[in-house]
Amino acid sequence: MISFSFYSKEYKDLPLDNLLNVLPSLVHEEGGEVAALSIIFCSDEEMLELNQQHLKHDYYTDIITFDYSNKDYISGDLFVSIDRVLDNAVSWKTTFEEEFHRVVFHGVLHLMGYQDKEDHEIALMRQKENYYLTKLFHVKHGR
């Protein structure tokens, strides 16, 4: 089951319809099945507080993924900073909708076991993000 939550009341007009259709197929294509996936949308300040409290990091980030998966099913909470997504879209000269989907895909790919600490892991993660964005938007991606 996939659910969406709003940590902040100000972020309610988001492109969620596509996610409900795309995320199960992304997980299935990667060889998994969704047990429970919650996506929580918040502000930079709320995300910073989560980052400091849970990860001991003192900086903004676009997504924090809490993974409760087991070997058969993925399960987790994705906290997404809408403020970071908006800034990322401007920085990368892309649309909010595309960056929004990229960040959510990134979190789900973490639940599927992909990492992004080493250069080769980052490259593979970007390749996967671009692949699923291309499937969704039918366009090429350069990042």
At residue 92, the pLDDT reads 94
Share the mean pLDDT of the chain. Answer: 88
Residue 9: pLDDT band by 50, 70, 90 thresholds?
low
Q: What number does CATH give the domain 2-137?
A: 3.40.390.30
Residue-wise pLDDT for 41-83, tens only, equals 999 999 999 989 998 888 889 999 999 999 888 999 999 999 9
At residue 142, the pLDDT reads 58
Residue 14: pLDDT band by 50, 70, 90 thresholds?
confident
**pTM (two decimals):** 0.89
At residue 8, the pLDDT reads 58
Q: Which of 38, 27, 11 is nearest to 96 (CA)?
A: 11
Residue that wins the pLDDT comparison between 72 and 112: 112
Query: What does the chain look like in DSSP terms, one character per residue?
Result: -EEEEESSTT------HHHHHHHHHHHHHTT--EEEEEEEEE-HHHHHHHIIIII---S--SEEEEE---SS-EEEEEEEEHHHHHHHHHHTT--HHHHHHHHHHHHHHHHTT---SSHHHHHHHHHHHHHHHHHHH-S----
Encoding tokens for residue 108? 């789900």
Say what percent of the chain tops pLDDT 90: 62
Residue 119 confidence (pLDDT) above 70: yes
134 contacts 98 by C-beta, under 8 angstroms: no
Residue 106 confidence (pLDDT) above 70: yes
39 contacts 80 by C-beta, under 8 angstroms: yes
Say what percent of the chain tops pLDDT 70: 89
Residue 140 confidence (pLDDT) above 60: no
Domain ranges of the chain: 2-137
